[in-house]
Structure formats: C-alpha cells, structure tokens
Amino acid sequence: MGCGEGWCYKDGGWAQVRDTLASEIAFRISISDQPFTITMHSPGNEVELVHGLLFTEGLITPADIPLRFETEPKDATGCLTGINVLSVSGLRDNPLSSMRNLSSVSSCGLCGKTELGDFPSAPFHQQGVEIDPDVIPGLFSTMQQHQRDFAASGGTHAAAAFDQNGKLLSLKEDIGRHNAVDKVVGHLLLAGEIERAVILCVSGRISYEIVSKTAAAGIPVLASVSAPSDLAVSTAMEHGMTVLAFCRQNKFTVYANPGRLKGLTAQTIN
C-alpha cells in the first residue's frame, strides 16, 4: 500500500492529512519471451493473475495448468514486474505474433499495450487558474443530475468537463471509466472547446490511466468521488496536475499540486 499526504477541506477550513492509498504498478506478461501485454494491477497474486487471464482469454486449458514460467526482476519496492510463460501448448500451431494482443477493455486503458512508456502531455489550459473550493461539491451535483444511464441502470461511469467558473462543457457515460473520459475529450475536441476545460470530474477511482488521459487533454485539475492510487498521485505531481479525491459530502482531499485551490496557493505538501 502507498501513502498520500494532502489537505482536507471541511466546514470552511483546511487540515493536513495522511492517508493510505491503494498501490498500482505495471505488470508485464510475456509468452516464450514474446511481449503479450502490460496490465496495471495491485501487487500480489501475480501467478494467479497470469493463469486466470490466459485462461479467460482462451489461450490455455486446464491441461496446461500449472504453467511453467520465469519471473522478471522485482522493482525497488520489492514488487514483481513481470512473468514470462515458458510455453503454452495451445500456441504451438498459432504463434503469438499471429495473434492480436489484448485489446483495451472497459476496466483498463492500458490492456492493449506491451510497453508502458511515457504518455503525451499537453500544455495545461489557462495557466494561473485559482479555484474556489466551495465550487467543487456543485460540480459533482451537476454531474450526478446528468447521469441518466446510471440513474436507470446503476452500472455506468461518468466523466464531466467544466470551465473555470464551473460551467458544464461535456458529460459522457460509459460502462468503462476510461471510455467515459475518452468520449468527453473527443466531444470537446469536436466542439472546439478543449481549451476551455479546466476541471475533469470522474465517478470512478483515479488511476494512472485516468491521469495520463487527463494530462494528454491538457486539463489541469482532475477530481473524483473515489480514491486515487499512489502511482496516480506521483504521476500527477510530476506532470503538474492537481488531484482532488473523495469529493463527496461537501468535502474533498487535495493530493497533488494544491496551489490551484483558493486558500492553498502558498501551501505545499510536505
């Protein structure tokens, strides 16, 4: 688990807090030394993950279990970075190179990639923006009011872009939280309003993928009703993005680059 230090805004005042964040790391799966996919996951149970993923993708059968594999080196925190499956009988007549890698699915924006790499980061829109913290609860209230699919099914995520004054620019829903973000960004681009977007609100947790998509769109503030991962916070810090999480019940916590919030312009997180 990771640790996140931030500033909690509640009842008109700020208090510094220290929270536990779910860890998120990149994990590489190779088959016979050929890259197959990279997935973002919580450290632990990597062997089970590989078996379950390859089985549900139809690449192995019960006869192949247990797989023979070798592990890649661990990272600086002692977490396993990858597994190379030495052989899969079902692929002998169908080399991995002739098969598609895992496509991007609703729950993972990186599931089709074999290298993590650097993501494109656009210059943030409207430099020097200062946001009144009392505006934040209203943004999520507006988003909730427009979540018609969620109201009907309870099974969709939402993303909503707002300008500096809290005006709704775009809201989209999708069963996948990454898809909802992509739809909002696409709508803003098509409408010629991408540079007006200052705050992106999302209904799901803030992961590395969500941070990368927001940075690529040049939106400087990312806010969620849920929790961020430690990798999301450190990535946002590196790229100068402000991250707000647990935005509910008229309070929220700032985990990265708090200087865009009124009352914290001179504050840093120690």
Residues annotated as part of the active site: 108
Round to whole Å and give the CA distance between 136 and 166: 8
Q: Would residue 103 be called left, alpha or beta, if left means φ above 0 and alpha means ψ between -120 and 50 degrees?
A: beta
**Residue with the two structure tokens 């990312």:** 222
Round to whole Å and give the CA distance between 233 and 26: 15
* SS3 category, 22: strand
Round to whole Å and give the CA distance between 237 and 60: 41
Question: And the tokens for 168?
Answer: 């709704």
Query: Helix count (H) and strand count (E) of the chain?
Result: 6, 12
- Taking the mean position of all CA atoms in its chain, how far away is CA 161? 16
**Residue with the two structure tokens 């620019």:** 169
User: Which DSSP state fits 131?
Assistant: B
Which burial class, exposed, middle or buried, applies to 19 when counting CB atoms under 10 A from its CB (0-12, 13-18, 19+)? Answer: middle
